[in-house]
Amino acid sequence: MVAFDNFWSLAVDLAWGPWLWILLISAGFFFTVSSRFLPFRAMRHAFQILSGKFDKKTDPGEISHFQALSSALSATLGMGNIAGVAVAISVGGPGSIFWMWVAGLVGMSTKFYTCTLATMFRKKDEAGIDQGGPMYYLEVGLGKRFKPLAIMFAVCGMIGCLSLFQVNQLSELIETDYQLGKALLGLFGSVQGPGPAGLTDFEVGKLLIGLVCMILVGVVILGGIKRVGKVAAKVVPAMSVIYFVSALIIVLSNFADVPGLLLSIITNAFGSQAVVGGAAGLAITRVIGTGVKRAAFSNEAGVGTAPMAHGAAKTKEPIREGLIAMLGPFLDTNIVCTLTALVILSSGLLSGVALEGDAAAVVLTADAFTQAMGMIGRYMLTLIIVLFSVSTMISYSYYSLKCSKYLFGNKIGSFYVYIYLISLPVAAVLSATTVINIIDTCFALMAIPTLTGALLLSGRVNSALKDYFKRMGL
């Protein structure tokens, strides 16, 4: 197990060198300028599309614009916004939040290009259903010689889209919370002494939570993307509103501290030091790298997961789906993550804490809510985290299964859903550090083919954009 942990520790260091976050930010800036700042000019039209104004039942695809965005957001709104922000502040200091903002803003353009391409270059599967995503626009848009990059994306996506982090942090929170954890264990009976396979009582409880998640998620995902889209369309708006309102209440209650906190975020973003958890002298590259990495985990702009959901949208206008997709990073990173950061920073709980070991970041966020709202805040956040986590597990299953079907075909690839479900209880008892390293490594390797294809095909998107704006009179 030590060798397994060490392997992923080395892998993430190699994958997430400065070159990768420079690529993510540079590509985002390129797309922003190339589109003539489209994300900031077309927001109103994007919300009109989201309202269903342009939906047509006869359009190709499987789900509506709203369901596609909900499916994508259900995968991004979650632990990246809650636990990921705590990790970012602990490792990179408050300044890392600034670089999350930057990554979120330029990520809007990245999402626009990648998700437009996902619907522009779709390919029918064995059942005659149009499929889209980075592997398809690489193969169809750029030709067979780029299929190795498509295969690279799909292989890494099968692993990167396992919901390891979500189930790991959810089980950690429930087990750590004394009253809720004790109540949950009571349902299954008290466990005394060494558990199965040498697991401790604490790990046995986490394993049981992982098994419950496996059953709940399995009931939904075995119904395919249409069921995923319907569930996400109902759950995502509700959980987003609950979390937004809860976090906003806490921020407003500490409103006098907000200007100082925002100033610390900005000043630490450009300083050579970030004194957090007793660690001084963190290099500016680490601050930037941490912010960009956690933003990539949070909104997944440039990683390539969202294009797989948006590629299933019912539309004949690829530009429209790109406009819908670009809303994701702004809602996810620039709004939700900012609220989480202000809640954590105003609590002062991260003073003297460094989340680079097995500490559960989600527990610290829960503690911040408890400090501000009492046990009501903790129980409320626990409910939100359950909804966030389960919805993400549901959407990620579609992503990992889509990668598997691309590689092995529908018949054989469909069996990967069972590997996905089995991975949930396994991930529940792994160390948080190892889980984060696995996902970060795979996300980094997924970003390479995703951005390569988007950059090479950006001219096609620009031409389609000009044509669309002309036809729509925008």
pLDDT value for 407: 93
b/e map of 93-127 (b: 16 or more CB within 10 Å)? bbbbbbbbbbbbbbbbbbbbbbbbbbbbbbbebee
Q: Where are the alpha helices (DSSP H) in 300-349?
A: 306-310, 318-325, 327-329, 338-347
**Residue owning tokens 């990059």:** 149
The two tokens of residue 90 are 């602990």
Contact 63, 321 (CB under 8 A): no
Contact 317, 129 (CB under 8 A): no
Q: How far is residue 457's CA from residue 252's CA, in Å, rounded to a whole number?
A: 44
Q: How far is residue 109's CA from residue 325's CA, in Å, rounded to a whole number?
A: 9
pLDDT value for 406: 93
> Greater confidence, 115 or 59?
115
The two tokens of residue 403 are 């990668």
Q: What is the pLDDT of residues 425-463, one digit of tens each?
A: 998 888 878 888 898 899 999 999 999 999 999 999 999
Q: How far is residue 299's CA from residue 330's CA, in Å, rounded to a whole number?
A: 9
Predicted TM-score (pTM) of the model is 0.81
Q: Tell me the pairing of strands 130-131 and 123-124.
A: antiparallel
> Greater confidence, 320 or 366?
320
Contact 310, 324 (CB under 8 A): yes
Q: How far is residue 443's CA from residue 210's CA, in Å, rounded to a whole number?
A: 23
User: Is pLDDT above 50 for 194?
Assistant: no
b/e map of 215-233 (b: 16 or more CB within 10 Å)? eebbebbeeebeebbbbbb
pLDDT value for 253: 87
Residue 196 banded pLDDT, cuts 50, 70, 90: very low
Q: How far is residue 253's CA from residue 346's CA, in Å, rounded to a whole number?
A: 10
Q: Where are the alpha helices (DSSP H) in 282-374?
A: 284-299, 306-310, 318-325, 327-329, 338-347, 361-373
Q: Where are the alpha helices (DSSP H) in 18-94?
A: 18-34, 38-41, 43-50, 65-76, 79-92
Contact 135, 450 (CB under 8 A): no
The two tokens of residue 11 are 């892998």
DSSP-derived letter for residue 199 is -
Residue 273 banded pLDDT, cuts 50, 70, 90: very low
DSSP-derived letter for residue 63 is B
User: Is pLDDT above 90 for 57?
Assistant: no
Q: What is the pLDDT of residues 292-325, one digit of tens each?
A: 777 776 677 888 888 888 887 777 889 988 888 8
Q: How far is residue 375's CA from residue 100's CA, in Å, rounded to a whole number?
A: 30
Q: How far is CA 120 from CA 60, 62, 115, 273, 318, in A?
A: 12, 15, 9, 45, 5
Element (H, E) at 131: strand 130-131
pLDDT value for 355: 45
Please name which of 405, 326, 464 lies closest in space to residue 131, comparing C-alpha atoms.
405
φ/ψ of residue 131, rounded to 5:
-120, 140
Q: What is the pLDDT of residues 210-258, one digit of tens each?
A: 898 888 888 777 765 555 556 666 666 777 788 888 888 888 888 888 9
Mean pLDDT confidence for 135-151: 94
Please name which of 398, 320, 324, 302 lies closest in space to residue 120, comparing C-alpha atoms.
320
- Give the chain's mean pLDDT: 79
Contact 141, 457 (CB under 8 A): yes
Q: How far is residue 436's CA from residue 165's CA, in Å, rounded to a whole number?
A: 6
For residue 124, the cross-strand partners are 130
The residue type found at 164 is L
Give the torsion sign (CA, 228, 233, 234, 237): positive
DSSP-derived letter for residue 330 is I
pLDDT value for 64: 65
Residue 404 banded pLDDT, cuts 50, 70, 90: very high
Contact 333, 299 (CB under 8 A): yes
Q: Where are the alpha helices (DSSP H) in 121-162?
A: 134-136, 142, 147-160
CA 318 to centroid of chain Cα atoms: 23
Q: How far is residue 17's CA from residue 10's CA, in Å, rounded to a whole number?
A: 11
For residue 313, the cross-strand partners are 63
Q: How far is residue 181's CA from residue 465's CA, in Å, rounded to a whole number?
A: 52
CATH of domain 2-472: 1.20.1740.10
